[in-house]
Structure 1
């Protein structure tokens, strides 16, 4: 049985570098006198090593307004975080708890949507009665009952808007609390 070539550390680094440049495992295998599977294993092992050791290899960037940046830096300063990178890193690590879908909010909004559909149907019926009367050339029947119904619908829409606003404020407050906790942990050195 023929003895296989054993890769040196320098050869492994070159394989990883060439693989990133897009050179195929077959080409690299021929160049280093190993199988394509060995090349794939070498590249995968390096990826696992970087992931397991926490080596940071990816970057993110975002464009913000000057006001947003000042607000973010002030928040970091309040929590004793001296670096935007550290603040962003901690927020990304805590994002699993912050960016979770809110089932309660979803259920509430479904209920609000159904109620708003009922209001829309009522307004449509009033408009239909007024159009029918107008098409017949008679004065639309808009008495005290219709006026009371319109006032009731208006009140409902205003209450609805207040409830949605309150719901969103509660959700925003919860997210702010989670963000503040994440930044406090960063400032305290906990990860």
Structure 2
């Protein structure tokens, strides 16, 4: 990341915590929560692994094509699941962004690691794909953030779910934090 390595570690912590909560959601009694939780956990842990500063751990050259393959398969799954649930289109955008970043890392010179502030596009401006992904995730962050603002509580509203994995507002907060992390990672491209 541009700036101190501590910012990269904060991104690692945010994404890993989000992935851990998504694993907890896999045990939810609510089917809607379980359906999306696995892909979101994969995204959280994958983003955390990608954000580890290169000064601490530099993945071998074969790791980036593996990342691209794993997230490519996740993108195919999200595309298939989008037939019945539009929310999976967001998963498709996220997995496509991960494939894009992994492919950029695979084609980068060994010394260039975007999490350390190196530019992946040679300083000729923002590539079209990076710009489009930045626009999407920035819009998603703004829209999701606005949705998290609590509405006036009604007296006859349903009680909040008892289990942590069944709380839809926490799931939305996790998606928001991963989108913020994606914006931070895309800005380093």
Q: TM-score, normalised by structure 2?
A: 0.30
The structure, 1 or 2, with the larger RCO (C-alpha pairs under 8 Å, 6+ apart) is 2
The TM-score normalised by the length of structure 1 is: 0.30
> Whose helix proportion is higher, 1 or 2?
1
Max Rg structure = 1
